[in-house]
Amino acid sequence: MSDTELLDRFGDADTVRAPYQFYENLREQEPVFYSPTMRGFIVTRFEEAREVLTNDKLFSSEPRVAAIGAMAKFAKAYVPLYEAAGTPPPMPTLVVVDGDRHTRHRQLVDGWFNAPAVRKLDAAIMVLVDELISAFIDKGKADIYKDFCLKLPLSVICDMLGLPRGYAELMHRSGDAQVRLASGGAETEEGRVACHQVIIEFQKFIQPYIDKARSNPGSDLLGYLAHTPTKDGDLLSDAEIHSLVQTLNAGGTETTTNGLGNMFGLMLENPEIQTQLREDASRIPFFVDEVIRLESPVAGAPRWANEDSVIGGVAIPAGSMIQARLGAANRDDRRYGCPAHVDLARKGVRNHVGFGAGIHYCLGAVLARFEMKVSMEQALARMANIRIDPAAEAPKRANKVGVRAWLNLPIIFDKIA
Amino acid sequence: MRVLVTTRQGVAVELQPTPGDSLMSALHTMSDGVEGVCGGQTTCGTCHVFVNAGWLDRLPAPNEEEAALLDMLEHAQETSRLSCQIVLVDDLDGLDITLAPEE
């Protein structure tokens, strides 16, 4: 063992909260790194990460049934928990399936998230953003993470699914459990079981809404999923609907929330960005993509090697988990000039892998970009001089290895309108 | 078949793709073609091209998804298309396009 050998810091809370120096060390010294904590290979350079994400013949998105290092949600070991509770064991959908099984679900939900669908939602989203800001505008201060970032995507996804908005706490816990299980190796066995119990609690909450969607469907997504034949000519099972709802809930409570939080966080850490965006609001979409690149909300995307392969000169045995570390690849200086800096004129600003790449590119990318853009536009229009509240508890990052998340973002500001 | 491409630096390049390929796949053979991060799902908007004179009307019109996504791009103009949505059928031999600025 040499002095310079890299330690596995994926289980270290301080590193998880501030990972970028560690990522740089990995990119420079061991760009395909075996992490015992994550129970797989972590890929931190852009080109290799993109290869892992897009070569779906070699690198499958389907977790192995014994996997607990990544996607522990689907590990066979936990099925008895669901049998005991009388709810369907998690069934891989969308993010974690390939080929025909992926198409079966993606075809059904695509039309609810593509650009025309987002265009139809835009007025409703603008109203939601306005209402959330109105709730705190007169106070001159807020926790923009808890009062806004946690609430907006959840309301959007609840409205889309036809779920009441009043169960935020459970929906957040379920989303959190999902992302923790996605990097299950970093959790204790007790922690993994607790996450499954939260998912079971969420399933019991959702089941009556699935039942209602079967018997008396509304015009919402749940009604659509319950009654629209798949490309195979059958209807989705309850287990499939549960899994889709869980995936969409994680999108509504974790990924977009953290995209929003990271956007406001990056602006608060770099006050000149606020000035630039106020001077030229046409740069806001560029800032949104710089946020996704620099502070990628989804920190890594796992795949499983279908056969013995080689990535970046490192032999990857068949069956191994290999994770494209999105948050590291997007800061690779082989790909980007001044990668750690926000550049509102960056060429190819949308070309990052923060939303993944290839067939599993984020289903909700158009919606997420829109929610982030409108949120920043309205925040700047209604609040001047937005800054961190020095009298409140300092902003703190979450100890989550799978997502890049804040726990709080207390701000003060001068009310404009 | 041939596709004529003007790069972002104004250099004319001739590609010889296989009929049936998407224009995006053909552009992937260039070192500075298009990114196409989402692989052709009309989600990312990173395979944007301008179709040059005389060719726009010879292409099938963009579907609702493509049109709505193009609307969201800063550099979109009347001749804009997403190259992932253009299938290089034989009739398009000689297709003439310019790469849109990256955004």
Mean pLDDT of A361-375: 97
**CA of B54 to nearest chain A CA: how many angstroms apart?**
28
> In degrees, to the nearest 5, what angle opens at C-alpha A196 toward C-alphas A89 and A49?
90
CB-CB neighbors (< 8 A) of A286 in chain B = 103
In this prediction, residue B62 carries a pLDDT of 97
**Model confidence over B41-90: pLDDT tens digits?**
999 999 999 999 899 999 999 999 999 999 999 999 999 999 999 999 99
pLDDT at A1 over 50: no
Q: Are the C-beta atoms of A68 and A302 separated by less than 8 Å?
A: no
The answer to whether A54 faces chain B, any CB pair under 8 Å, is yes
Measure the CA–CA gap between A234 and A228, rounded to whole angstroms.
8
* Gap from A232 CA to chain B (nearest CA, Å): 20
CA dihedral sign, ordered A301, A236, A156, A154: negative
Rounded to the nearest integer, the mean pLDDT of chain B is 97
Cβ-based contacts of B99 with chain A (< 8 Å): none
The answer, for B101 touching chain A at a CB cutoff of 8 Å, is: yes
Residues 6+ apart with CB under 8 A from A216: none
**Predicted pLDDT of residue A73:** 86
For chain B, how far is it from start to end, CA to CA, in angstroms?
29
B83–chain A nearest CA distance, Å: 15
pLDDT digits (tens, 9 = 90+) for A100-137: 989 999 999 999 999 999 999 999 999 999 999 999 99
Count of A–B CB contacts within 8 Å?
Answer: 70
pLDDT band at A94 (very low <50, low <70, confident <90, very high): confident
pLDDT surpassing 70 at residue A65: no
Other CB atoms within a 10 A radius of the CB of residue A51 amount to 18
Mean pLDDT of A135-153: 97
Q: Which of A96, A218, A134, A290 is nearest to A226 (CA)?
A: A218
What's the length of chain B?
103
The one-letter code for the residue type at B52 is N
Q: Which residue has the higher pLDDT, B19 or A92?
A: B19
**Chain B positions in Cβ-Cβ contact with residue A348 (cut-off 8 Å):** 35, 46, 102-103
pLDDT at B96 over 70: yes
Question: B37 vs A351: CB contact, 8 Å cut-off?
Answer: yes
Strands A141-143 and A40-43, by their bridges, are: unpaired
Query: What integer pLDDT is reported at residue A3 of this predicted model?
Result: 46
Provide the mean pLDDT of chain A: 95
| pLDDT bucket at A63, cuts 50 / 70 / 90 | confident
Q: What pTM was computed for the model?
A: 0.95
- Which 3 state secondary structure label does DSSP give A34? strand
pLDDT above 90 (res A10) = yes
Residue A74 scores a pLDDT above 90: no
Contact A350 B68 (CB under 8 A): no
Closest to B87 (Cα-Cα) out of B67, B53, B58, B50 = B58
**B68: chain A residues, CB-CB within 8 Å:** 114-116, 118-119
Half-sphere exposure of A153 (CA within 13 A, CB side): 30
Residue B50, pLDDT score:
98
Which two structure tokens, joined as six digits, stand for B46? 């990173």
List the 61-80 stretch of B: residues with Cβ below 8 A of A: 64-65, 68-69, 71-72, 74
- Whether A350 and chain B come into contact, CB under 8 Å, resolves to yes
In residues, how long is chain A? 417
CA B67 to chain A, closest CA, distance in angstroms equals: 8
Best of B42, B44, B75, B99 to mutate (most A CBs within 10 Å, chain A): B44
pLDDT digits (tens, 9 = 90+) for A190-238: 999 999 999 999 999 999 999 999 999 999 999 999 999 999 999 999 9
- Tell me, yes or no, if B102 comes closer than 8 A to chain A by beta carbon: yes
Torsion-angle region of A234 (φ positive above 0: left; ψ -120 to 50: alpha; else: beta): beta
Contact status of B59 with chain A (Cβ, < 8 Å): no
Residue listed under structure tokens 């046409």: A282
DSSP E strands: which ranges in A248-400? 301-305, 309-311, 314-316, 321-324, 383-388, 396-397
pLDDT digits (tens, 9 = 90+) for A254-291: 899 999 999 999 999 999 999 999 999 999 999 999 99
C-beta separation of A93 from A105 below 8 A: yes
Q: Return the DSSP state at B59.
A: S
pLDDT at A4: 56
Tell which of A280, A350, A355, A371 to mutate to test the B interface (max B CBs under 10 Å).
Answer: A350
The reported pLDDT for the residue numbered A244 is 95
pLDDT tier for residue B34 given thresholds of 50, 70 and 90 = very high
Closest partner residue to A115 (CB to CB) among B39, B68, B103 is B68
